[in-house]
Amino acid sequence: MAYVNFKEEKSVLKKQLDKRKNNNEKLYIDIIKHKENLSQYVPNLEFSYKKVINKLIGKKGIFESENFQEIINQDIICTRFIGCNFRNVTFKECRFVGCIFEECNLNGGGVIFENCTFLKEDSEKIPSLNIKDNLGCSFYNCEIYAKFLSCDISFTIFEKSKIKTTIFEMSYMNNTIIIYSELNMVEIIDCDLSGFKTLETYIVDISFNDKYKTKFDEKTFFDKIIPRVKDKQEYEGIYMTYETLADKFKENTLNNNFGEYYYLAKCTERECVEPVSKIGSYIYWLLCGYGERPWFCILSSLAIVIIFAFIYLIIGVEIDGNIISYSLNNISTWKLNLFIRDFNEAINLSIGMFAGVGVNNAKPTEISYIISNIEMLGGIVMMGLGIGTLTRKVIR
């Protein structure tokens, strides 16, 4: 019954990110030093191996996508785009190798990437059998309004970026990392998100409008969403996001992951419902953790047994033919050793009633019979709930 350990996942992801950045930097320097080894590429002379600063790439104004400027079948290698504006431009069948986009705006009218590759997978070093560079591109502090159609953006890093009204369609996003960023109205269609991860990323709205299926695997990870405004509308949005992710994990038969994001969805939903529904939600959470926390049943059952034991002592319990009752009226006669003995008998009675196995030394008085009946019914419900929750997790 494995769970998504968010703390461990975040720690592993940070190490993975540092390792990837070091790998990218090392390969970036190596490619620049040995340009002649890239025999499979024809570098674009305008951009490759350069720092492109504060340049407009595309054209000003607002145009329909069919009127965008087109850049077709170009290899853009080890380019650092710094403070550049990408407006009304379509990249078709282009290959971006080790490119870095820093403080760039890709939101002026929109950018289309069609059949583009942002990954250099093969190694140039010999021997290269079974060795992969996995050199991805990086977007740092960028604003992105784009469409990625049939692209390979695997191993790409999006850091401190705002990705808004963006579509990823039929694209490979394997091992893509989005960190310290914001996703707002992002649509994903039939993509491969194997190994895809987010870290401390605020997700306003994400949707999967698949014709076939977006692929998740065991390494796909979405970090928890930390509320900013903490109002009803925000909690509803976060709840819907968790529910969407849960459904997508379930569709990929990753049932443990589904359970975790379903649990987060229900916990978030609790913050935006009416008071009566909130009370019911809290009870559902305390009793079994929305069906995802079997040990909640054990803790709740233990609490019920102890609470009813105190109730028996207050209302009255018959022990060895004597009626024992603790109240403020006889507080002067209380003795610790006698209370411990009586409480032990009350616990024994409470467990018997809860489990429906009857009584031993202690038994309820006539007044407390209704209490014991209520506890017995509660015990039957809790045992059924606990077995159901446990079975649900075991089957997964």
Per cent of the chain over pLDDT 90 is 55
- 85 pLDDT more than 70: yes
* pLDDT reported for residue 396: 62
Helix (H, G, I), strand (E, B) or coil at 52: strand
192 and 312 assigned to the same domain:
no
75 and 196 assigned to the same domain:
yes
Q: Is residue 230 part of a domain?
A: no
Higher local confidence (pLDDT), 144 or 396: 144
- 390 pLDDT more than 90: no
301 and 175 assigned to the same domain:
no
* pLDDT reported for residue 385: 81
Instruction: Determine the angle formed by the axes of helices 369-395 and 275-288, rounding to 10 degrees.
Output: 70
Nearest to 88 by CA among 63, 113, 71, 53: 63
Query: What pLDDT band is residue 173 in, cutting at 50, 70 and 90?
Result: very high
CA 167 to chain centre: 20
* pLDDT reported for residue 344: 86
- 332 pLDDT more than 70: no
185 and 305 assigned to the same domain:
no
User: Tokens 């190694």 appear where?
Assistant: 123
For residue 208, what is the enclosing H or E element?
strand 206-208
218 and 331 assigned to the same domain:
no
Q: Is residue 40 part of a domain?
A: yes
178 and 48 assigned to the same domain:
yes
Task: Give the ranges where the chain is alpha helix by DSSP (H).
Answer: 6-33, 232-251, 255-269, 275-288, 294-315, 336-355, 369-395
Q: Of 168, 197, 223, which one is at a domain's C-terminal end? A: 223
Q: Do 41 and 61 meet the contact criterion of CB atoms below 8 Å apart?
A: no
Q: Give the pLDDT mean for 184-213.
A: 94
- 373 pLDDT more than 60: yes
Q: What are phi and psi of 91, to 5 degrees?
A: -100, 120
Q: How far is CA 302 from CA 170, 353, 377, 380, 390, in A?
A: 51, 13, 15, 14, 17
Helix (H, G, I), strand (E, B) or coil at 3: coil
Q: Do 221 and 13 meet the contact criterion of CB atoms below 8 Å apart?
A: yes
Higher local confidence (pLDDT), 296 or 190: 190
Q: Of 223, 239, 269, which one is at a domain's C-terminal end? A: 223
* pLDDT reported for residue 380: 84
Q: Residue 56's domain spans which residues?
A: 6-223
* pLDDT reported for residue 1: 41
pLDDT single digits (tens) 13-35: 999 999 999 999 998 998 888 88
Q: Is residue 181 part of a domain?
A: yes
Higher local confidence (pLDDT), 42 or 364: 42
Q: Is residue 45 part of a domain?
A: yes
Q: What are phi and psi of 133, to 5 degrees?
A: -75, -40
What is d(CA 304, CA 252) in angstroms, rounded to the nearest whole number? Answer: 38
Q: Give the pLDDT mean for 222-238.
A: 93
Q: Do 291 and 267 meet the contact criterion of CB atoms below 8 Å apart?
A: no
Q: Is residue 321 part of a domain?
A: yes
Q: Give the pLDDT mean for 270-287.
A: 88
- 328 pLDDT more than 80: no
181 and 44 assigned to the same domain:
yes
92 and 211 assigned to the same domain:
yes
CA 235 to chain centre: 15
Q: Is residue 256 part of a domain?
A: no
- 159 pLDDT more than 90: yes
Mean pLDDT of the chain: 88
- Amino acid 299 reads L
Lowest-confidence region among 124-128, 209-213, 247-251: 124-128
Q: Is residue 261 part of a domain?
A: no
Query: What pLDDT band is residue 112 in, cutting at 50, 70 and 90?
Result: very high
Number of domains in the chain: 2
What is d(CA 84, CA 32) in angstroms, rounded to the nearest whole number? Answer: 22
198 and 329 assigned to the same domain:
no
Q: Of 223, 249, 264, which one is at a domain's C-terminal end? A: 223
* pLDDT reported for residue 82: 96
Q: Is residue 279 part of a domain?
A: no
